[in-house]
Amino acid sequence: MSNIGIFVGSVYGNAQHVADEVKAALVDEGLSATVYNDPSVSDFQQASSVIVVSSTTGMGDVPPNLEFFIQDLRDQMPLMANKPFAVAGLGDSSYGETYCGAGNQIFSLLEELQGNPIADLLEVDACETLEPEVEVVEWIKGLVKYMV
């Protein structure tokens, strides 16, 4: 059975909550999913499909819990061989140019690793969305057919 890896980058826990809700929605669809908040390259390689849910620091960077993982991906370059992926970036548009910076960085890296983006980067703006989990779960439900 395939296992969808949900990789979460969270500063204050909001992205973690969203990732947990995404997992619950996937399980409700009869799929197997695992949430990783301290992932390894091995976790990444073993996932049949990759979902990343990440907030962005105020400077536009990847949250601390994903920094080493992202650096390991850049260093080791484990090619994805067209593995499907989707990235949801949580951000705050009042930060201007750094808005959803982590999501953009991660999306670009997964493309560089030859992953297959099954959707454009989803940018969820905290200025407009009070419940990002609702928006992200609905988005993921529309992508399920590409992940199995």
Per-residue pLDDT tens digits for 15-35: 999 999 999 999 999 999 999
Averaged confidence pLDDT in the chain:
96
Q: Which of 121, 119, 128, 145 is nearest to 94 (CA)?
A: 128
Per-residue pLDDT tens digits for 107-123: 999 999 999 999 999 99
**Which residues 6+ apart lie within 8 Å of 121 measured at CB?**
87, 88, 89, 100, 103, 104, 107
Domains and CATH numbers, the chain: 3-146 (3.40.50.360)
- The residue type of 78 is P
Instruction: Report, as an integer, the average pLDDT of 132-144.
Output: 97
